Structure 1
Amino acid sequence: MSVRIDITGLTAERIHVVPSPLAELGMALHALAEPAHHPGLQGWTTSVSARLDPCLADRMCEADFLWRTTFSDVFTPCAGIPGRRTLPGTTLTEELDLLDKLSDEQFVDAALEFTCQSEYAKRDVARLDDARARERALDLAAARGTHQVRFTQRLLDDPPAIRAWFRELMQDCDEAFFSDVWGRVQHQLAADARHKTELLRRKGVAAALSAVSGSVSLDESGPAVVVDKISVGHTETGAGDLILTPTSLGWPHLWVLHREGWAPMITYPISSPGLTAPTSVEQLTRRMAALAHPVRMRLCRHLARGSYTTGELADAHGMTAPEISRHLSVLKKAGLITTRRQGRYVQHQLDLSVVSRLGGDFIEGVLR
């Protein structure tokens, strides 16, 4: 599973690594709404939440589904500007001005991601003009709660009013806590952007993408940028640009904008407390499937305690050597065991370092 960005005809000059204050504010809001996703930010989220004005906190709760369960495209309005060549602004005000340039239909689509994820990449109707589509959006919102229904109704009835409300909320969040955050991280983000840009210029697209994340790669046969995620999507740059946006608050999330008609964007964390090379979704799935078999689980009990040959394991489990070999082959392919030769014998042992990371790998994979 992956999200693919077709970059046929894209030159290196049309790949931009640019920080975005509005995207970073979105990440900050998400961290405040879901602190369990970001244990490394626990001190900051606790401090901000404790001193947040109650009225502002209530207003944030009115639309926290824009950043709690998904990362709404309203935080990356530059991608929706016609021509797909507009870059993020250097200030929050500049980016909010870009948000004002989106059409009402674009704004509504981006804001309704929390109810219409299955229709994210492509849609066939205009929700503002089609009564059935409006009703469908309200039905989907109802499954999420009454305040989502109220928000959706207001959004469909008067998009400019919601847009103005959202802008004022972002400005108040900036004054309350985000201006301090941005002042602290913007130089770090700019330095990372310069580094990735230099890699792009000197070593090419593949090297730059690899530096962005171990989950991002270049398929030169496409050519396409491939982002390893537990989701499937496809878009293309066409005549537009590809934008890479660093975030200091985003780990473990790796977010890909692949909305039809918008410039593709990848928002990536510049640091993480986990592995430098995250486990692929395919490998994670293979490991979990390997451990799901009761015989292989019993084998792991032996292999966790020491090194054993195929014959020893066959005797211990009352099975034939070929049967044991088949199970060991599955575990080895999943990267869960190591082998070493001792004379004419081959010994197998569980790789405890890999197994101990499975929980973290799973969480990182599903949140990526």
Structure 2
Amino acid sequence: MAVVITLQGAVPADVAVGLSPLAELMACLHSIAEPEHHLAVRPWLERVRTDLSPESQSLIAVYAPLWTRRRCRLLMPLEPPLGRTLEQELDRLEALPLDDFVMGVAPSVHGGVFDTRDLLTDESVRTAYTVSSERRSFSRGELARSLLQAPERMRTGLLELLRRCAAEFFDAEWGRVQHRLEGECTRLRARVQALPLPEALASLSPNAVVRHNPPAVVFDKLQSLRADLRGRRCLLVPSAHSRPHLIVKDDPPYPLVVHFPVENTTQVERATLAQVRLRLAILSDPARLSLCRHLVNEPITTSDLAVRTGMSLPQVSRHLGRLREVGLLTSRRDGRQIYHRLDTDRLMHLGVDVLTSIIR
């Protein structure tokens, strides 16, 4: 699975590099909702989660589908120019036609694969969408009903939450990281002008590969996407809070957006030599490693894993059991469903654990 951006006929003028405080706020909200992905900003997360008002914490959880697995395209810049203030971006979202708001938010609320093209006009599609969202989680089902039954009220509530977050923590954080991100923009603009476009885009990720005939850049991600940049705009937006995620969103009629992380540091933990050896052995199995790519993104059930990977339920259960034995899996019950998640804390530190085991 990969994201492929084809660049045949694209020129540097098609690419805009700049800041988006709204996209950075979404990255912050993602890290608040999914702290296990973001070890590099853990001290900041602990401070923010302590200082957030109870009402804000509750609302962040309600709207979480918009910034967890399938981040909402409307919370990224909708058009050039980049570099607008947060309030200008929120005003643009508030002025968006209501039908465009519904269609832009619906995929993230659902969070999976669902054809939303007739969502505005076909009652059977609306019903199926709500039921399918609820099957993914109760909170997604509730948000889907709010979106379809009272979209203006939902948008008003979302905007109020984003402005609350700006006042409670984001304005201060944006003031801290803005200069750093502006420096990254300056360096990237220079690369876009000096390098062939595929090489410039590939510089956004160490896991990117340049292809020729036709020219393209391939990002190794748990996502299948092919986008053609010919005749389109591409917005490159750096983030101090999105690591380890590089996000590519292709939702016409909006420009293609690449929201990419800038470098961060992270703290490490220690594990015993026996734990390191056992975890490496468990992860060496190709089928188990394939499961991990799904388990890292969001809580998921055994049956969903079987559908996504083509394995049988007993096979998936055995692999999950081995991951749990070595402390790489967490599970929680939600009603009748049990959701599993990779322990990214321990997984991200495994490389350091190997080195520590060798030199101690």
Superposition TM-score, scaled by structure 2 size? 0.70
- Paired with 1:76 and 1:247, the residues of 2 have a C-alpha distance of 12
- Paired with 2:184 and 2:76, the residues of 1 have a C-alpha distance of 19
Residues 53-132 of structure 1 mapped to structure 2, 5 A cutoff: 53-79=53-79, 86-112=80-106, 113-119=108-114, 123=115, 125-132=117-124
The residue number in structure 2 matching 1:308 is none
Are 1:171 and 2:166 matched, yes or no? no
- Paired with 2:2 and 2:104, the residues of 1 have a C-alpha distance of 21
* Residue identity in the other structure for 1:251: R
Q: 1:118 to 1:147 in 2, by over 3 A?
A: closer
* Residue identity in the other structure for 1:220: H
Q: Which of 148-157 and 179-188 deviates more?
A: 148-157
* Residue identity in the other structure for 1:256: V
Question: How far off is 1:98 after superposition?
Answer: 2.4
Match of 2:233 among 220, 237, 241: 241
Q: 1:253 to 1:124 in 2, by over 3 A?
A: closer
Contact 1:17 1:196 in 2 (8 A): yes
> The residue matched to 1:261 in structure 2 has which SS?
coil
The residue number in structure 2 matching 1:232 is 224
Contact 1:248 1:271 in 2 (8 A): yes
- Paired with 1:204 and 1:142, the residues of 2 have a C-alpha distance of 46
- Paired with 1:187 and 1:33, the residues of 2 have a C-alpha distance of 26
Query: RMSD between aligned alpha carbons?
Result: 2.7
Contiguous gaps of at least 5 residues in structure 2 = 267-279, 287-345, 352-360
The residue number in structure 2 matching 1:35 is 35
The residue number in structure 2 matching 1:154 is 146
- State the identity as a percent: 26
Contact 2:235 2:258 in 1 (8 A): yes
Contact 1:31 1:45 in 2 (8 A): yes
The residue number in structure 2 matching 1:136 is 128
> The residue matched to 2:96 in structure 1 has which SS?
coil
Q: 1:92 to 1:160 in 2, by over 3 A?
A: same
Contact 1:77 1:99 in 2 (8 A): no
* Residue identity in the other structure for 1:73: R
Q: 1:360 to 1:145 in 2, by over 3 A?
A: closer
* Residue identity in the other structure for 2:41: L
Name which one, 1 or 2, has greater alpha-carbon Rg.
1
Residues 146-295 of structure 1 mapped to structure 2, 5 A cutoff: 146-273=138-265, 291-292=284-285
- Paired with 1:124 and 1:53, the residues of 2 have a C-alpha distance of 35
- Paired with 1:289 and 1:50, the residues of 2 have a C-alpha distance of 36
Question: How far off is 1:176 after superposition?
Answer: 0.5
- Paired with 2:348 and 2:173, the residues of 1 have a C-alpha distance of 27
Q: How many pairs align?
A: 278
Contact 1:197 1:208 in 2 (8 A): no
Q: Which of 105-114 and 151-160 deviates more?
A: 105-114
Contact 1:78 1:87 in 2 (8 A): no
* Residue identity in the other structure for 1:158: A
Contiguous gaps of at least 5 residues in structure 1 = 80-85, 275-286, 294-357, 364-368
Q: Deviations over 1:197-222 (max 9, x none)?
A: 01111223233223211223432322
Question: How far off is 1:288 after superposition?
Answer: 9.1
The residue number in structure 1 matching 2:10 is 10
Question: How far off is 1:68 after superposition?
Answer: 2.5
> The residue matched to 1:50 in structure 2 has which SS?
helix
- Paired with 2:257 and 2:281, the residues of 1 have a C-alpha distance of 31
Contact 2:90 2:159 in 1 (8 A): yes
Question: How far off is 1:185 after superposition?
Answer: 0.5
Contact 1:242 1:265 in 2 (8 A): yes
> The residue matched to 2:78 in structure 1 has which SS?
helix
Contact 1:16 1:241 in 2 (8 A): yes
- Paired with 1:220 and 1:98, the residues of 2 have a C-alpha distance of 38
* Residue identity in the other structure for 1:159: P
Question: How far off is 1:154 after superposition?
Answer: 1.6
